[in-house]
Amino acid sequence: MHPSDRIRYARGNHLGGKKIALAVTGSIAAVEAVKVARELIRYGAEVYPYMTHSAGKFIGKDALLFATGHEPITELSGMDEHLEEFDIILVSPATGDIISKAACGIADDAVSTLILANLRKCIFVPAMSEKMYTNPMLKENIEKLKGFARVVEPKYEEGEMKLPGRERITAEVIHSLGALQDKKILIVGGAGYAPIDEFRIITNLSTGRTAVEIAKEAYFMGATVHLLMGLHSVSVPEYIPVERFTTVESLIGRIDKIVAEKYDAIIVPAALPDFAPEPKSGKIEFEQARTLKLKKVPKFLEALRKKYHGYLVGFKAEFDSQQLIEEAKDRMRRYNLNMVVANNLSEVKEKESRVHIITEKDVVEVAGTKSEIAREIMMRVANEI
C-alpha cells in the first residue's frame, strides 16, 4: 500500500472517485504542494502531480511522488498527458508567469499545455509578491481568467500574497464540484443572549459547532453560503462569510433583509433564549440584586415564516427523549417547517451527537460526529430545494 492510501478518506468522501491534477509552478510556495495534495487525498481524491521546470527548484519530484503515489509529469510525451481526463486542474501555487500564459493561450510546457486543454476545469491559487500581484497587466490577466476558470484569492501577509491554508484550497476544490452551484443557503447558529443590564447577560452553553459544520457541508455541496452567528466558541472557516447577531429581537429585525436575499433554504440550529429579563441601564450593584422577572421572548422561526416562504429547517432540543419527537412534530406544524432536527441534550457531546431528522415523509435517526450529521442534514435539504 502506498503511504497516500493510508490517509484516503480520513476527513470524508467528498472527493471520492475524483481525479485531480495538481499543477505546481515556480514559487517558493511550491513547498506547500505536499500538504495540499495530502489534504485532497484525505477527502478521497486521486491526485496526479504536474510540475514546471522552475518548480523543481523548490520541491523535488520524489516529494510529490511520496505525497500522491504518482510520478510527477514534467514533460509531455506521446502519451498525451495534457489530454488526460481530470475533474479539476488545481494550479497551486499559480505564479504570475503561468497566469499570464493561461490568459493569453500560451502552451509551451507540460503545465501550460494541460491548462490550455482544460481551462474551464482549472482553479488558480496565486502566490507572489504584492508588487507583482498588483501589477495592472497581471490584474487584467486575472480578470480575463475569471471568465473561464476559478481564481482563489491569496492571503495577504508580511507584504506577500501567500497561499491560503490547505483547508481553504481543498474546500474550494470540493465546492467547485458541488451540485448546488445556483443555490443560496443561510445558516443561523450559535447562542443568542438576553441582557440583564449593560454588562451582564443570560445565555446558554451552545458552542455553534453544529451551525459551522452545516455551513461547511453546504459550501462543499457548491452552494453560496452565509452564516449568521450568535455567541460561539468554535472557529468559522475563512471561506464562509459570517455576520453576528446578539438577541432574538436583533434577529427578528433582520428578517426583511433576509427575505430580500432570496435564500433557497434557511437552516436554524441557533440556541435562542425563550425568556428574558427587562434590561436595566448601567450595571446592577450587588446590593440591588434580588430577583429577575422574566418575560417570554418572541419566536424567531414564527416571525421568519410569516415572511419567508422557502425551505425552512428548525431544531428542537430537550432532555426528555420520550416527548422529543412529538414536540418536534408540533413545532413543525405550528411554524410550518419543512424539517425539524431533534436531539436529546443528554446525548450531545462536544463533537458527536444523535439526532432525529423529521419531515412530513419520515423520521430518521442519525448518530455520529457533528460533521457526519451535518452532511446527512444537507443531503436531505439538497434533495428538496
Asked if 183 and 264 touch (Cβ cutoff 8 Å), the reply is yes
Strands 184-189 and 224-229: parallel
- Structure confidence at residue 152 (pLDDT): 97
Q: Which CATH architecture has domain 184-382?
A: 3-Layer(aba) Sandwich (3.40)
Which class for 360: exposed (0-12), middle (13-18), buried (19 or more C-beta within 10 A)?
Answer: exposed
- Structure confidence at residue 263 (pLDDT): 98
- Structure confidence at residue 286 (pLDDT): 62
**Could you tell me the three cell numbers for 272?**
435562542
Task: Read off the pLDDT of each residue in 47-51 and give the average, rounded to a whole number.
Answer: 98
- Structure confidence at residue 107 (pLDDT): 96
* pLDDT tens digits for range 284-318: 776 666 677 888 889 999 999 999 999 999 998 87
- Structure confidence at residue 274 (pLDDT): 84
* pLDDT tens digits for range 159-174: 899 999 999 999 999 9
pLDDT bucket at 202, cuts 50 / 70 / 90: confident
Domain 3-176 identical in fold to domain 184-382: yes
Task: Read off the pLDDT of each residue in 321-340 and give the average, rounded to a whole number.
Answer: 90
β partners of residue 353 = 368
Task: Read off the pLDDT of each residue in 37-64 and give the average, rounded to a whole number.
Answer: 97
Strands 128-129 and 122-126: unpaired
205 Ramachandran zone, left/alpha/beta (phi>0; psi -120 to 50): alpha
- Structure confidence at residue 287 (pLDDT): 60
The domain ranges of the chain are 3-176, 184-382
- Structure confidence at residue 353 (pLDDT): 83
CB atoms within 10 A of CB 48: 23
User: Over pLDDT 90: what percentage of the chain?
Assistant: 78
Provide the whole-model pTM. Answer: 0.93
| 3-176 homologous superfamily | Flavin prenyltransferase-like (3.40.50.1950)
Cell numbers 443570560 label which residue? 202
* pLDDT tens digits for range 179-201: 999 999 999 999 998 887 778 88
- Structure confidence at residue 270 (pLDDT): 94
Task: Read off the pLDDT of each residue in 54-83 and give the average, rounded to a whole number.
Answer: 94
- Structure confidence at residue 344 (pLDDT): 82
